[in-house]
Copies of this chain bind each other. A is one copy, B any other.
Amino acid sequence: MGEDVGKDLSNFAKPYVTVDMVIFTIASSELKVLLVKRKVQPFKDKWVIPGGFVNIDQSLREAAMSKLAEKTGVKDVYLEQLYTFGDPKRDPRGRVITVSYFALISSEHIALKSSEEYNATWHSFTKLPPLAFDHKEIIDYAFKRLKWKFEYTTVAFSLLPKKFTMSQLQELYEIVFGTSFDKRNFRKKILSLKILEEQEVMRNVSFRPPQLYSLKANLGEIVNIL
Task: Give the B-binding residues of A (Cβ under 8 A).
Answer: 1, 3-9, 12-17, 40-42, 44, 53-60, 81, 83-84, 86-88, 92-97, 99
Give the docked Cα–Cα distance between A134 and B44 (Å).
40
CB-based contact B87/A99 at 8 Å: no
Known: A5-B41, A54-B86. A14 touches B15 (CB 8 A): yes
Residues of chain B lying within 8 A (CB to CB) of residue A56: 13, 15, 88, 95
How many copies of this chain does one complex carry?
Answer: 2
The reply to whether A41 and B6 contact each other, CB–CB distance below 8 Å, is yes
Knowing A59-B88, A83-B81, A88-B57 are in contact, say whether A44-B14 is a contact too (CB < 8 A): no
Contacts of A17 in B (CB 8 A): 14-15, 17, 86, 97
With A15-B17, A54-B15 known as contacts, the answer to whether A6 contacts B93 (CB < 8 A) is: yes
With a cutoff of 8 Å between Cβ atoms, the chain B residues found around residue A15 in the complex are 14, 17, 54, 56
Closest B-chain residue to A10, C-beta based?
B94
Contact partner of A60 among B13, B16, B97, CB < 8 A? Answer: B97
Q: Kindly identify which residue among B8, B14, B84 contacts A93, using a CB–CB cutoff of 8 Å.
A: B8
List, in ascending order, chain B residues with CB within 8 A of A58's CB: 88
